[in-house]
Structures are given as structure tokens and as C-alpha cells.
């Protein structure tokens, strides 16, 4: 995302109007008409975490201990429990 100077990018009357509201601050102007992508949806990170979480839930259903799953996924047992709790909570809503 490029940094632009207001004096160079905006017409003087628009710059003056913006200065009435915000002065000396950075303002993010989103792209028009485009839906925001969800976290990690563009680079595949969300999909990778979803696959990992499904693998964790499947292992629990097979009776694998939380400690063993944590070791296999290089996560803490608390992180594994959070994955399970998050899934349980979303299943109750849905």
C-alpha cells in the first residue's frame, strides 16, 4: 500500500474538507466496491489452519490424547483445547 501526500493526490478543495476533520494523521482509504477478504483467505493460511484443526478433531475422535496431538502439531495442550473448544462453540451456534 503506497504512502501518498494529500497535497499531491487530492484536489485542493477535497484536501481542505478532509483537514476540517483530520489533520496530521494517517488515513486509510479502502478500495471502492470490493469486499474485504477474510483473514488468510488470499494466501491459503486460513485453509491450512482449517485443515490442521480438522486433523486435531479427527485425532481426538480416534482417542489420541491431547498431549500426543500437541506434540505432533508442535502446539501446547492448551492450544489444542482451544481448537476443540472453538469448534464445539461454533457447532452449538450453527
- Residue 31: predicted pLDDT: 78
DSSP 44-81: THHHHHHHHHHHHHHHHHTT--HHHHHHHHT--HHHHH
Q: Three-state SS for 39?
A: coil
Grid cell 491459503 is found at 44
pLDDT digits (tens, 9 = 90+) for 4-27: 888 999 999 999 999 999 988 888
pLDDT digits (tens, 9 = 90+) for 40-70: 888 999 999 999 999 999 999 999 999 999 9
- Residue 51: predicted pLDDT: 96
Amino acid at each position: 500500500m503506497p504512502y501518498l501526500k494529500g497535497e499531491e493526490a487530492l484536489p485542493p478543495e477535497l484536501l481542505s474538507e478532509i483537514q476540517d476533520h483530520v489533520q496530521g494523521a494517517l488515513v486509510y482509504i479502502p478500495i471502492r466496491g470490493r469486499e474485504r477478504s477474510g483473514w488468510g483467505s488470499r494466501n491459503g493460511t486460513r485453509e491450512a489452519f482449517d485443515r490442521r484443526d480438522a486433523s486435531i478433531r479427527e485425532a481426538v475422535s480416534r482417542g489420541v490424547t491431547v498431549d500426543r496431538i500437541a506434540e505432533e502439531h508442535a502446539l501446547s495442550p492448551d492450544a489444542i483445547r482451544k481448537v476443540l473448544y472453538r469448534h464445539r462453540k461454533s457447532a452449538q451456534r450453527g
